[in-house]
Amino acid sequence: MNRKAIGIDLGGTAIKAGLISESDGLLEEVSVPTNADEGPQYVLDRIADLISGYSTRFPDVVGVGLGSPGAINWARTTVSSPPNFPGWESIHVGDALASRLDRPLLTLVENDANVAALGSAHYGVGHRFDSFIMVTLGTGVGGAIIYQNKIFRGATGAAGEIGHMTIDYEGPFARSGVAGAIEAYLGQRFLSRHARYRLINKKDSLMHQMAEDDLQGITPKMLFEAAELGDSGAREVLAWAGHKLGCVLGSAVNLLDIRKVVVGGGLSAAGHYILDEARATLNHYVTPALQAGLELVQETRGNEVGMLGAGHLVFQHVDENGISPE
Amino acid sequence: MNRKAIGIDLGGTAIKAGLISESDGLLEEVSVPTNADEGPQYVLDRIADLISGYSTRFPDVVGVGLGSPGAINWARTTVSSPPNFPGWESIHVGDALASRLDRPLLTLVENDANVAALGSAHYGVGHRFDSFIMVTLGTGVGGAIIYQNKIFRGATGAAGEIGHMTIDYEGPFARSGVAGAIEAYLGQRFLSRHARYRLINKKDSLMHQMAEDDLQGITPKMLFEAAELGDSGAREVLAWAGHKLGCVLGSAVNLLDIRKVVVGGGLSAAGHYILDEARATLNHYVTPALQAGLELVQETRGNEVGMLGAGHLVFQHVDENGISPE
């Protein structure tokens, strides 16, 4: 049996919808702008359009999985307060879509970091591991835990907030108000600021040209490009970030005894400039008894893992619970 | 059905064996010195003696659970390299006991911190929670995770090493070589040293009398006693420890989305001098989205939870797998 599901990745800038084959992964995908400022009804209309586009052509789809920012309830039915989605309080996504679709489809929602990890577990580099920690480096620092091939959800469904773990209890504050949270180092805004101050007196760094002498305009992308071109300043910044990443992952490994780490998200494109240092550091922050088998690898399927994991959520749910959501 | 099991707590100084009733908890207990220096055969003889003492009188016991230091394999059959047990490499405890007992008994081993948490979950203050983080403050800092009323074991059975999580990546080294690991603050040796230096110029602290003017002799017990007598120096030290504890627990809550914490072990006798500060700090190190329902409580059953959890392990195993170990 080769089931199909629709996997949707609801992001701040785009809504991506993929047709996911259980055995073959992503068969096709389509993307539209989110325009979250238009409000939740607009966004839900767009999601329904994308679903209809597939479900009319593929009437045998098993259901819809949606990866979303915001808080997800335990039953995987509602999305609450996704950041940067004005007017979106708490919405039962299945109900909201049912009224927009010709026929009802099993609909499950899950946190975006969690579906990305599930996608990696079944279709990405995480396929090699039964259990792993996923960290997603993008605008913020996301995280998820895959345990025995499933999402470890914690007590309420919000587990995996690696971005808020502290590596220095007297360190800089992250947006969450947690001192020394890893996001205060690796979040895009924080990393860019660090680069600016670190390079301000390093006039020979390519970054000055790239940012057109306005270091406030530094982006992580510029850092990778400069690093690729051999710029030592950019490489120092990325290695600094990798060091911090290794510290927080050490804590996570000690707590979970899950010794495999998958790094995804836009910043992971910086590949070995960050990850080599993270790998070296990780060993110093894991107790010796847990060091055997430590691995830190890069997700190479990019953002596709979000749609893939959202689709897989449907297959997993049906296998465990039958066709209805709880 | 009110089943009975034998729960054993193998410690560095004493072996404690309890007769555990599934519904009523600890019915009776007995303790002998460990004398680990005599070697593993001696220790195993003592354990067998304790088991025989119960199993001849209560032939209906379901089996034996043993909480032990050291590494436990996934099948819960062997104990490897328990610290401070010379000559003990890797021992299959069930086999070692079978040759010493008149009749074979189902025997399961589990990490000592894990059984303490399981004991708390079913017979102690943890009974209130389906899932909680347990931290044990003793000579070192132990930890365990109870998830949905069972031990969360991680990938190899060693999850819960809270003592090795860092709160300051450039902090003092713990014995594990991890910089800023919480054990480097709250481990008994480290806490005593901190107290010594903190109080050396505070001549009015009662600690000077208690330690007979030799602050190198400070013990945590002295700190509690002085705190109880109103000594501000001792209270400062314990609050300092509580602050550090709150920091690391914040990281653990963020990662696990398990918002209940049970603190056990000898140092938890210091009760509110440590825990009030830990509780206040915890809020600052947990991201706002996960703060609802945070609770940090003290285990009041003391070290009994080790025997209780070891016994409960047997009931749980039989319910899930029948009478044989894997």
pLDDT digits 0-9 by tens, A181-232: 999 999 999 999 999 999 988 888 888 888 877 777 788 888 999 999 999 9
What residues of chain B lie within 8 A of the CB of A161, using their CB? 254-255, 257, 287, 289-290
Q: Clarify whether residues A108 and A151 are in a common domain.
A: no
Nearest-Cα distance to chain A for B145, in Å, is 9
Whether B292 is covered by a domain: the verdict is: yes
Whether A118 is covered by a domain: the verdict is: no
A242 interface with B at CB cutoff 8 Å: no
Whether B274 is covered by a domain: the verdict is: yes
Query: Could you tell me the pLDDT band of residue A1, with boundaries at 50, 70 and 90?
Result: low
* pLDDT value of residue B324: 60
Q: Clarify whether residues B148 and B287 are in a common domain.
A: yes
Percent of the residues in chain A that have a pLDDT greater than 70, as a whole number: 98
pTM (predicted TM-score): 0.95
Cβ atoms within 10 A of the Cβ of A326, count?
10
Q: Clarify whether residues B112 and B236 are in a common domain.
A: no
* pLDDT value of residue B218: 85
Nearest-Cα distance to chain A for B249, in Å, is 10
Whether A47 is covered by a domain: the verdict is: yes
Q: Clarify whether residues B35 and B151 are in a common domain.
A: no
User: CB under 8 Å, gap of 24 or more: what pairs does B188-196 form?
Assistant: B188/B138, B188/B139, B188/B140, B188/B219, B188/B220, B188/B267, B189/B139, B191/B220, B191/B223, B191/B237, B191/B241, B191/B267, B192/B218, B192/B219, B192/B220, B194/B237, B194/B240, B194/B241, B195/B223, B195/B234, B195/B237
Q: Could you say which residues from 14 to 73 on chain B have a Cβ atom under 8 Å away from some Cβ of chain A? A: 71
**Average model confidence (pLDDT) for chain A?**
94
Contact A13, A34 (CB under 8 A): yes
B280 interface with A at CB cutoff 8 Å: no
Range of the domain at A192: 125-298
Whether B326 is covered by a domain: the verdict is: no
Instruction: Tell me which residue in A158, A179, A286 faces B289 most closely, judged by beta carbons.
Output: A158
Answer whether residue A310 shows pLDDT above 80: yes
Residues of chain B with pLDDT under 50: 326
* pLDDT value of residue A61: 97
- Residue pLDDT, tens place only, A253-289: 999 999 999 999 877 677 789 999 999 999 999 999 9
State which residue of chain A sits closest to B178, comparing Cα positions. Answer: A285
What residues of chain A lie within 8 A of the CB of B286, using their CB? 164, 178
Tokens 């729960």 found at:
B7
Contact B178 A145 (CB under 8 A): no
CATH of the domain at B165: 3.30.420.40
Q: Clarify whether residues A283 and A212 are in a common domain.
A: yes
Q: Could you say which residues from 186 to 225 on chain A have a Cβ atom under 8 Å away from some Cβ of chain B? A: none
B145 interface with A at CB cutoff 8 Å: yes
Q: Clarify whether residues A281 and A189 are in a common domain.
A: yes
* pLDDT value of residue A325: 53
Q: Clarify whether residues B41 and B164 are in a common domain.
A: no
Instruction: Tell me which residue in B143, B255, B257 faces A165 most closely, judged by beta carbons.
Output: B255
Q: Clarify whether residues B202 and B271 are in a common domain.
A: yes
Contact A131 B155 (CB under 8 A): yes
Say how many domains are in chain A. 2
Which two tokens mark B177? 């070589």
Q: Residue A124 gets which letter from DSSP?
A: S
* pLDDT value of residue A326: 42
Q: Clarify whether residues B95 and B230 are in a common domain.
A: no
Task: Write down the ipTM of this complex.
Answer: 0.95
Cβ atoms within 10 A of the Cβ of B294, count?
16
Instruction: Tell me which residue in B160, B169, B257 faces A255 most closely, judged by beta carbons.
Output: B160
Q: Clarify whether residues A315 and A233 are in a common domain.
A: no
Whether B236 is covered by a domain: the verdict is: yes
- Beta-carbon contacts of A163 under 8 Å, excluding residues fewer than 6 positions away, are A140, A141, A142, A143, A174, A176, A181, A182, A183, A186, A187
Where are any strands of DSSP class E within chain B?
A: 4-10, 14-21, 25-33, 64-68, 71-72, 78-80, 90-92, 107-111, 132-137, 141-147, 150-151, 260-264, 295-298
Whether B220 is covered by a domain: the verdict is: yes
Strands, sheet with A25-33, edge to edge from the N-terminal-most edge strand:
A25-33, A14-21, A4-10, A64-68, A107-111
* pLDDT value of residue B325: 53
Q: Clarify whether residues B137 and B264 are in a common domain.
A: yes
Nearest-Cα distance to chain B for A218, in Å, is 26
- Residue pLDDT, tens place only, A146-179: 999 999 999 999 999 999 999 999 999 999 999 9
Contact B285 A166 (CB under 8 A): yes
Whether A196 is covered by a domain: the verdict is: yes
Q: Clarify whether residues A214 and A71 are in a common domain.
A: no
